[in-house]
Structures are given as structure tokens and as C-alpha cells.
């Protein structure tokens, strides 16, 4: 018996400690954790480092390259014949040769320079793509956060409604017992409480799922935090704040990335044209070894490469790249127009959401007054139970609509703010 008591006490202490250890997170805290730990942002950081590494590799192409070669041979029983007089012997048995080659480009048709500029552009694009990833993550975190606020607010509303229904059930039970009301009134209250309990179960499950999704974005345990915000329906306050100004589509990160893609397509055309130009370089080769008793080297070579076949096939490749460039420019123009429409649409959504909050706030006041009148009428025997329950249901729905409208406003505002970034 003592062991059971100690086990129970230990469990309760662990539970209390776990509850106390939960962090209370504001929206900004959730955002910061998501930007640090979310997989999209982490991958975007890796892409930036990868693009920077490739840019460094492209820069090194401006410098001479060094290559070493080591060769050896062995011919048993002097089976490697040599022409008479070559290296002073008719046959070779073995030998080795070491060759060091330095190749320095002088002119490469602009390929090296264009590839390096393109690699720098890819670094810029990687930074832009990270900004887009951050926008997506922040938008999702805001949505999940305010959904969680709404769900917890609805749960509190249902809990408050159940408390009121318990009192109504008590009053109805006394009235039935004293013969003032029939049993149907009591059954109606009990059925309403059952419906309320069913909704509590659904919302509790939704809260758990939403909490897990938000925790996944932040890279933390779903039971290690609580959210700081809550929607207060006691007064149904109207929203106040500054007027939201319209954003500029051409200044958004999405359009910036499309402009960079156009620039990348321009470099692709330049690179394709440079493939038709000759390449000039200097090669210095120094060899040493033991081949028939002779030391060979050094060699100084001038190299010129003329891509003759590219003069015929290259024009088709250039045409293909030019068409891709046209497509990139068309996509830039088209998506700029679409982004402008999207921004205006989101702004209208924000304004509508603000109006919905105001309407819902007024509805709460009216629903409270309606419930007060029906409670007085029921107690005085001037109305029936169904009317009282209907008034209670109207208040509950009004409070839920206000919570949902407030959270929707915050979500729409976040979507707009992320869109104009």
C-alpha cells in the first residue's frame, strides 16, 4: 500500500514538473524557433553554402591549372623493340617518366568570366530562395499559431457553456421535481450537454494535431510549450490599428527571383555563344625520368583550339537558349501582374476580416442580452426550455464566430505581410 502511495506521489510530482517546465511562447518566439530549426530554412542555408563553394571553384578557373602524370613500363626479356638508332639501343627493358603540366588560359571566348558571373548570380538566387523559404515558414507558423489560439478559445467557450448548462439543468431538475415543469425540459438540457461534450472531444483532438504540427515547424516537442495569446470574448473588443497600405508587386521576393532567372538565362545565351569562339592558352610541360638513359623536357607549347563543328551546330543551341530567355521574360511580366492582383486580393481579404470581427463583436453583445431576457422569462414561466437553450446556443456560436473571425484576421494579415515582402 505504501509503495502505491509513493508511486502515485512520484507520478504527480513528475506531472507537475512537466507542466511547470512548459515554455510560454509568443508568436515572435515561435517564429524565431521555426527560422532556426525548420527543415526548409536549414536546406536553404545549405544551398547557399553549396552555391558559394561552386562560385569559389569557378573563380579558380582564372588561374593556371597544374597536372602531374607518372608512367612506367617493364618489358621482360627485352621484348620492347626500338628502331635502330633511337635512344642508342635496339631494345628497352624498363623505364619510367614523370610529367608536370601547367596550363594557363589566355583567351577562352569569355566562357570563364561568364561562368564565374553566373556562379555569383546563383549565390544571389540561393539567398533569394532562402528568403522565400522563410516567407513560407513564417506564413505557416502564423496560420498554425492563430488556429491553435482559435481552437483553445472555442474550447474555453464550450467549457463556459457547459457550466451554464449545468446550472440550467439544476434549475430544470428542481422545477420538474416540484411539478412546475415537465420532464421534457430536463431531457432537452441533457441532450444539449451531450452535444456540447461531443464538440469538446472534436476540438480537443484538433488542438492536439495543430499543436504537433506547430511543434514540428519549430523543431521542439509538442508538449513542451504553451501559446501566450488568447482571444477574450468577455467584451468582444473591436480591432484598432493603423491603416494598411498596398504593397508593390515588383519589390517582392518572388519577383526578385524571377528577375534573377532572366539574368541567368541571359548568361546562358552568352555561354552558348562563347562556345563558338576559339580558345588560346599556354602549356608548360616538364618531364623527367629514365628512358634509355635520356632525360626528356621541358616543353613549352602554345595551344589554340578552334571549335569548327560548333559553327554549324552552335546556332541551333543559341536559338534554344534565346527562346528560354524569352520565356523567362514572359514569366517575369506575367507573374508581376499576377502578384499585383494577389496583393490587392489579400488586402481586400484583410479589410473584410476586420469587418467580420466588428460584426461578431456586436453579435456577442446582442446574444448576451437575448440570453438574459430568456433566462428571466424562463424563471418566471413565460417561455419554454427550447427558447432558453436556443438563446444559449446563439451566444455560444456568437463567441465562437468572434474567436474565429479574430484568428482569421490575424492569418489574413500575416498572408498579406508575407506577400509584400
Q: How far is CA 45 from CA 127, 134, 260, 359, in A?
A: 8, 11, 18, 45
- Stated length of the chain: 421
Instruction: Find which of 10-24, 131-145, 283-297, 382-396 is predicted with most confidence, using mean pLDDT.
Output: 131-145
pLDDT at 192 over 60: yes
Contact present, 360 and 398 (Cβ < 8 Å):
yes
Confidence band of 190 (pLDDT split at 50, 70, 90): confident
pLDDT at 379 over 60: yes
pLDDT of residue 348: 92
pLDDT of residue 238: 55
Q: pLDDT tens digits, residue range 15-44? A: 444 444 678 999 999 999 999 999 999 999
Counts for the chain of helices (H) and strands (E), in that order: 8, 8
Q: Which of 69, 144, 115, 73 is nearest to 271 (CA)?
A: 115
Confidence band of 355 (pLDDT split at 50, 70, 90): very high
Q: Where are the beta strands (DSSP E) in 12-51?
A: 23-25
Over range 331-352, report the average pLDDT.
93
pLDDT of residue 173: 79
pLDDT at 164 over 80: yes
pLDDT at 90 over 50: no
Query: What whole-number distance in Å separates Cα of residue 399 and Cα of residue 360?
Result: 8
Q: Where are the beta strands (DSSP E) in 216-309?
A: 225-227, 279-290, 299-305
Contact present, 284 and 297 (Cβ < 8 Å):
no
What is the DSSP secondary structure assignment for residue 5, as one 8-state letter? H
pLDDT of residue 180: 67
Dihedral angle over CA of 220, 222, 228, 231, nearest 10: 140
Query: What whole-number distance in Å separates Cα of residue 299 and Cα of residue 100?
Result: 10
Give the residue carrying C-alpha cell 411539478: 179
Q: pLDDT tens digits, residue range 109-119? A: 788 888 999 99
Give the residue carrying C-alpha cell 510560454: 24
Pick the CATH number of 22-419 from 3.40.50.2300, 1.20.1600.10, 3.40.50.970, 1.10.150.20: 1.20.1600.10
More confident: 75 or 346: 346
pLDDT at 88 over 50: no
Give the three cell numbers for residue 339: 502578384
Give the three cell numbers for residue 61: 578557373
Share of the chain above pLDDT 90, in %: 43
Other CB atoms within 10 A of residue 337 CB: 11
pLDDT of residue 414: 92
Confidence band of 6 (pLDDT split at 50, 70, 90): very low
Confidence band of 11 (pLDDT split at 50, 70, 90): very low
Domain boundaries, the chain: 22-419
Query: What whole-number distance in Å separates Cα of residue 115 and Cα of residue 108?
Result: 11
Helix axes 39-59, 111-177, angle to 10 degrees: 180
Confidence band of 10 (pLDDT split at 50, 70, 90): low
Q: pLDDT tens digits, residue range 74-87? A: 666 554 555 554 44
Q: pLDDT tens digits, residue range 311-325? A: 677 788 888 999 999
pLDDT at 299 over 60: no
pLDDT of residue 147: 94
Q: pLDDT tens digits, residue range 122-150? A: 999 999 999 999 999 999 999 999 999 99
Query: What whole-number distance in Å separates Cα of residue 358 and Cα of residue 406?
Result: 9
Amino acid at each position: 500500500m505504501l509503495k502505491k502511495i509513493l508511486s502515485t506521489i512520484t507520478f504527480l510530482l513528475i506531472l507537475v514538473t512537466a507542466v511547470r517546465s512548459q515554455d510560454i511562447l509568443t508568436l515572435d518566439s515561435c517564429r524565431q524557433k521555426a527560422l532556426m530549426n525548420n527543415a526548409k530554412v536549414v536546406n536553404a542555408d545549405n544551398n547557399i553554402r553549396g552555391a558559394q563553394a561552386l562560385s569559389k571553384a569557378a573563380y579558380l578557373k582564372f588561374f593556371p591549372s597544374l597536372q602531374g602524370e607518372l608512367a612506367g613500363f617493364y618489358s621482360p626479356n627485352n621484348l620492347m623493340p626500338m628502331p635502330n638508332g633511337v635512344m642508342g639501343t635496339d631494345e628497352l627493358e624498363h623505364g619510367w617518366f614523370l610529367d608536370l603540366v601547367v596550363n594557363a588560359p589566355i583567351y577562352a571566348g569569355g566562357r570563364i568570366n561568364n561562368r564565374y558571373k553566373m556562379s555569383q548570380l546563383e549565390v544571389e538566387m540561393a539567398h533569394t530562395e532562402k528568403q522565400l523559404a522563410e516567407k513560407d515558414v513564417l506564413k505557416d507558423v502564423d496560420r498554425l499559431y492563430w488556429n491553435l489560439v482559435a481552437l483553445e478559445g472555442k474550447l474555453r467557450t464550450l467549457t463556459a457553456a457547459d457550466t451554464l448548462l449545468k446550472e440550467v439543468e439544476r434549475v430544470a431538475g428542481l422545477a420538474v421535481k416540484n411539478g412546475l415543469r415537465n420532464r421534457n425540459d430536463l431531457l432537452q438540457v441533457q441532450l444539449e450537454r451531450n452535444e456540447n461534450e461531443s464538440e469538446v472531444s472534436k476540438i480537443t483532438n484538433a488542438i492536439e494535431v495543430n499543436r504537433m504540427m506547430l511543434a514540428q515547424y519549430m523543431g521542439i516537442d509538442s508538449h513542451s510549450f504553451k501559446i501566450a495569446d488568447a482571444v477574450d470574448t468577455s467584451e468582444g473588443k473591436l480591432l484598432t490599428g493603423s491603416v494598411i497600405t498596398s504593397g508593390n508587386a515588383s519589390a517582392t521576393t518572388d519577383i526578385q527571383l524571377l528577375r534573377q532567372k532572366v539574368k541567368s538565362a541571359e548568361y546562358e545565351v552568352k555561354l552558348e555563344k562563347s562556345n563558338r569562339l576559339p580558345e588560346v592558352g599556354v602549356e608548360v610541360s616538364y618531364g623527367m625520368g629514365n628512358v634509355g638513359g635520356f632525360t626528356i623536357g621541358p616543353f613549352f607549347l602554345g595551344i589554340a583550339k578552334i571549335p569548327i563543328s560548333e559553327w554549324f551546330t552552335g546556332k541551333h543551341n543559341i536559338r534554344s537558349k534565346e527562346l528560354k530567355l524569352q520565356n523567362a521574360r514572359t514569366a517575369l511580366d506575367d507573374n508581376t501582374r499576377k502578384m499585383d492582383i494577389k496583393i490587392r486580393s489579400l488586402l481586400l481579404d484583410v479589410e473584410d476580416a476586420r469587418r467580420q470581427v466588428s460584426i461578431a463583436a456586436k453579435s456577442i453583445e446582442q446574444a448576451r442580452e437575448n440570453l438574459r431576457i430568456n433566462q428571466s422569462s424562463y424563471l418566471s414561466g413565460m417561455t419554454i426550455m427550447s427558447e432558453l437553450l436556443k438563446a444559449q446556443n446563439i451566444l455560444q456560436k456568437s463567441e465562437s464566430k468572434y474567436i474565429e473571425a479574430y484568428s482569421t484576421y490575424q492569418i489574413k494579415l500575416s498572408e498579406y505581410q508575407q506577400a509584400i515582402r
